[in-house]
Amino acid sequence: MNYRTLLAVTSVLGLNVIGLGKDVDISKLPPPASQKGVTYEKDIKPIFDNSCIRCHGPEKPKARLRLDSLEAVLKGGEDGKVVLPGNSAKSPLVINVAHLGEEDNWMPPPKNKFKFLPLTKDQISLIRAWIDQGAK
């Protein structure tokens, strides 16, 4: 079952987001940043360039998920969409970068070959604001 199906089921049933078999407590997410006018190009792409593109860029993107352009991010990967514009708390991208849900889905992975550190609460908050503002 892919994320799109899981999200539809949880939405209909009014449950928490599901992280591939594990309930995700979205109350543990940092709140969205208060910054207005957040855009992919200006605010989000630099975060992805520093922490994500090595694995989710044009060269053999893991899970067929590319994060190197707005269009690619919105398209999603092999498990479906990772960004739900207007709903950061249920966007798989946010759940995964916040290291909630199944550890196998955490991004960047705790033991990654590039030694990328997890995103900071401020970075996650900015990503949340971007998604909640329509992911533009």
Domain range for 52: 33-132
Q: Are 40 and 127 in contact (CB under 8 A)?
A: no
In a domain, 3, yes or no: no
Q: Given this model, what pLDDT does residue 22 score?
A: 59
Is residue 55 assigned to a domain?
yes
Give the pLDDT confidence of 63-81 residue by residue, as tens digits. Answer: 999 999 999 999 999 999 9
Q: What Rg, from alpha-carbon coordinates, does the chain have?
A: 14
- Written as one letter, the residue type at 94 is V
Q: For the purposes of burial, counting CB atoms within 10 Å of the CB of 4, is it exposed (0-12), middle (13-18) or buried (19 or more)?
A: middle
> 129 near 35, Cβ under 8 Å?
yes
Number of domains in the chain: 1
Domain contains 16: no
- Residue 23 inside a domain? The answer is no
> What predicted TM-score, i.e. pTM, was given to this entire model?
0.84
Q: Look at residue 73 and tell me if it is in a domain.
A: yes
Q: Give the whole-angstrom CA distance, residue 51 versus residue 56.
A: 10
